[in-house]
Amino acid sequence: MASSQSKKILSGQHSRSGTHHHKRMMRSSIALVFLMPLFIFSVGPVFGSPYSEVIAFLSRPFNALLMFVSLSVIFVHFSFGVQVLIEDYVRGEARSTLILVMNLVCYTAIGMSLFALIRILL
């Protein structure tokens, strides 16, 4: 009786990965604590500059690297965060579908920014 009940709980209630989810959230946020101020104050002023200035900014390796690393960590962090949101408010099959869709959005954004960066630098 007790074991069948605990089996039921284990099968439907959680995926036994809560600690891992919390740790990856913390790791990505610690990275962003350092990356984001750098990103905001160096890339921020370029958003709105004319084309030639943007290209000049991105042709410096440090800026290009900062751009790609920041965008990657931002969207990875977002995918973790939005998963928590979905797990809290969406139930049933829509839950896993929505998590999948949001992951797709995040990794597409990372892929496209990598594509953009390569195209700019080549």
Partner 1 sequence: MQNKKKKNRPLSPHITIYRPQFTSVTSILTRITGNSLLVGSLIFVFWFISVAMGEIFFNKVSPYIHSGFVDFIMFLSIWAFWYHFLAGLRHLYWDTGRGLEIYEAKVLAYIVVVGSFGLSAFTALII
Name the site residues for partner 1 (rule: CB under 8 A). Answer: 8, 12, 26, 29-30, 32-33, 36, 40-41, 44-45, 47-48, 51, 54-55, 58, 67, 71, 74-75, 78, 81-82, 85, 88-89, 91, 105, 109, 112-113, 115-117, 119-120
Closest to partner 1 by CB, 48 or 61: 48
Closer of 60 and 115 to partner 1 (Cβ)? 115
> 18-43 vs 61-89: helix axis angle to the nearest 10?
140
CB 85, min distance to partner 1, A: 6
What letter does residue 58 receive in the DSSP assignment? H
- Give the residue with the Cβ less far from partner 1, 16 or 48: 48
DSSP string, 13-56: T--S-HHHHHHHHHHHHHHHHHHHHHHHHHHGGGTTS-HHHHHH
Please state the closest distance from residue 116 (CB atom) to partner 1, in A.
Answer: 4
Residue 76, number of CB atoms within 10 A of its CB: 19
DSSP class of 14: -
From the CB of 29, what's the least distance to partner 1, in Å? 5
